[in-house]
């Protein structure tokens, strides 16, 4: 653009005269050339805090794609085409649009599929309000949504407490099941031992009865031989330990088969 005596040169139809790249002419001392970038610009906005409809704070990080639409208006509204001034004004409009939209939504709505609708509504509002800057807003995106650190800590603490409650419940249920399993196992062990003891007693009783029958049969067939066997068993039990001392009358019947070893054979 060419500035002459503080005014922007315009075309016959009262539009800002934009000079394309190439060889151009100006009046020395009177004309001043202002160069503006017509390419798409990116304003990577810093994170800002907003309040939802639930009165909860969220921190939103966004960016905006924009370019100059009306060069004359842009030059005048930004104090001589200052890009920093333009982005500061645009940032304020974006913040106002986001604040209005976020204030009518819950956190769940913002982070769900309604997030796209929020960005579309804010983009429409910013586009309309940016016309007075001579700017065309091409796109607006929310990059990241975070909770403030103090709120995040409280949420994490609540989540930890909930998980600990669930863990305690599971451990309590586990101990209860363990006690039931242990009691069942002990009952089964006691039942098996009782059954084994009963079986053993029955077996021992049957064995004792068989032994008694054998002894009875032996006694019936040969009483003298039965007495001899009983005496040998008594000798074996009596002299089993070398340290034992017996005080008996040598003429006692206990030694009758020792005195007469041939008596049983005869």
Per-residue pLDDT of 184-209, as tens digits, reads 999 999 999 999 999 999 999 999 88
- The answer to whether residue 163 sits within a structural domain is no
23 and 79 belong to one structural domain = no
Residue 141: phi, psi to the nearest 5?
A: -135, 145
Least confident residue range of 112-121, 125-134, 174-183, 233-242: 233-242
48 and 135 belong to one structural domain = yes
Mean local confidence (pLDDT), 105-110:
82
Residues 6+ apart with CB under 8 A from 41: 65, 66, 67, 83, 87
85 and 59 belong to one structural domain = yes
Confidence of residue 218 (pLDDT cuts 50, 70, 90): confident
Q: Encoding tokens for residue 49?
A: 């805090």
Confidence of residue 266 (pLDDT cuts 50, 70, 90): very low
Q: Is the pLDDT score of 123 beyond 80?
A: yes
Which one of 129, 147, 165 terminates a domain? 147
125 and 51 belong to one structural domain = yes
70 and 17 belong to one structural domain = no
- The answer to whether residue 87 sits within a structural domain is yes
Q: Encoding tokens for residue 75?
A: 């030059």
> 130-143 burial by CB neighbour count: b if 16+ within 10 A, else e?
beebbbbbeebebe
140 and 42 belong to one structural domain = yes
Contact by Cβ (8 Å): 130, 94:
no
- The answer to whether residue 237 sits within a structural domain is yes
HSE-up of residue 200 (Cα within 13 Å, Cβ side): 6
- The answer to whether residue 160 sits within a structural domain is no
8 and 106 belong to one structural domain = no
- The answer to whether residue 228 sits within a structural domain is yes
Distance between CA atoms of residues 57 and 59, nearest Å: 7
Give the helix ranges, DSSP H, for the chain.
71-77, 83-102, 107-111, 114-129, 149-221, 223-238, 256-259
Domain boundaries, position 265: 222-266
Q: Whole-model pTM?
A: 0.53
CB atoms within 10 A of CB 112: 13
- The answer to whether residue 5 sits within a structural domain is yes
31 and 42 belong to one structural domain = no
Q: Write the CATH number for 113.
A: 3.30.479.30
20 and 101 belong to one structural domain = no
Name the CA dihedral angle for 198, 200, 203, 205, rounded to a multiple of 10 degrees.
Answer: -70
Which one of 113, 147, 181 terminates a domain? 147
Number of domains in the chain: 3
43 and 138 belong to one structural domain = yes
64 and 27 belong to one structural domain = no
- The answer to whether residue 173 sits within a structural domain is no
141 and 238 belong to one structural domain = no
Contact by Cβ (8 Å): 67, 138:
yes
The 3-state DSSP class for residue 61 equals: strand
- The answer to whether residue 180 sits within a structural domain is no
The 3-state DSSP class for residue 145 equals: strand
Radius of gyration of the chain (CA): 55
Q: Which residue has the higher pLDDT, 67 or 4?
A: 67
Q: Is the pLDDT score of 107 beyond 50?
A: yes
């Amino acid at each position: 653009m060419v500035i002459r005596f503080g005014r922007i040169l315009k075309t016959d139809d009262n539009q800002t005269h934009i000079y394309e790249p190439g060889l151009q002419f100006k009046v020395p001392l009177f004309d001043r050339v202002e160069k503006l970038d017509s390419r798409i610009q990116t304003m990577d906005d810093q994170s800002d805090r907003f309040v939802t409809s639930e009165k909860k704070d969220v921190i939103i990080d966004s960016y905006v794609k924009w370019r100059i639409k009306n060069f004359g208006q842009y030059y005048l509204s930004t104090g001589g085409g200052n890009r920093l001034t333009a982005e500061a004004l645009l940032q304020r409009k974006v913040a106002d649009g986001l604040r209005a939209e976020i204030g009518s939504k819950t956190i769940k709505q913002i982070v769900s599929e309604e997030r796209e609708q929020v960005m579309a509504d804010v983009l429409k509002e910013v586009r309309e309000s940016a016309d007075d800057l001579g700017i065309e807003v091409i796109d607006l995106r929310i990059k990241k949504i975070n909770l403030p650190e103090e709120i995040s800590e409280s949420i994490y603490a609540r989540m930890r407490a909930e998980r600990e409650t669930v863990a305690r419940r599971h451990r309590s249920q586990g101990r209860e099941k363990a006690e039931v399993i242990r009691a069942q196992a002990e009952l089964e062990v006691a039942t098996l031992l009782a059954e084994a003891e009963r079986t053993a007693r029955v077996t021992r009783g049957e064995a004792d009865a068989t032994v008694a029958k054998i002894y009875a049969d032996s006694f019936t067939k040969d009483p003298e031989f039965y007495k001899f066997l009983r005496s040998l068993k008594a000798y074996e039990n009596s002299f089993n330990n070398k340290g034992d001392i017996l005080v008996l009358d040598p003429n006692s019947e206990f030694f009758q088969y020792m005195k007469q070893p041939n008596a049983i054979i005869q």
